[in-house]
């Protein structure tokens, strides 16, 4: 069972630095469901990456493995993209598992503020998801 902390007692939140093993492990965990959803190998242009050493929240725009923009018309999400009901943002919530990270929840291309539900479900502070 998940042990919930009161919001006021939440530990320090930080951004794992580029090039660190922690950041790479979070990205690798996030890549699995996102690549499966898109149907292509990707790298990420990160807009938010936060950790408190137990949880990590990741928000990014997937890109082709060479850093170019994805042609959404050739992905598994092409139909949704054509209808305008998918965006190009990936959001992933993960929990530390041993030396790695396990994805708890994820979404590809939400058209709303998807993380609000995760904030409530896991009793995480809003600043964890906003990146400020």
Alpha-carbon dihedral sign for residues 31, 37, 43, 46: negative
- Per the DSSP assignment, residues forming a β-bridge with 3 are none
Name the nearest CA neighbour of 43 among 84, 100, 90: 90
Arithmetic mean of pLDDT over the chain: 86
Percent of the chain past pLDDT 90, that is, above it, reads 55
| Confidence at 10, pLDDT banded by 50, 70, 90 | low
pLDDT in tens, 70-84: 998 888 888 877 777
Please, what are the domains in the chain?
A: 18-130 (3.10.450.630)
């Amino acid at each position: 069972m998940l042990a919930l902390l009161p919001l006021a007692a939440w530990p320090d939140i930080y951004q794992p630095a580029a090039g660190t093993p922690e950041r790479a492990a979070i990205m690798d965990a996030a890549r699995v469901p996102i690549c499966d959803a898109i149907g292509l190998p990707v790298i990420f242009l990160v807009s938010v990456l936060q950790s408190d050493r137990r949880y990590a929240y990741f928000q990014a725009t997937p890109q082709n493995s060479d850093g170019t923009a994805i042609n959404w018309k050739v992905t598994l999400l092409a139909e949704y993209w054509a209808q305008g009901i998918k965006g190009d943002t990936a959001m992933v919530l993960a929990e530390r598992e041993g030396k790695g990270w396990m994805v708890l929840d994820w979404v590809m291309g939400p058209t709303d503020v998807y993380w609000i539900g995760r904030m409530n479900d896991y009793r995480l502070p809003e600043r964890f998801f906003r990146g400020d």
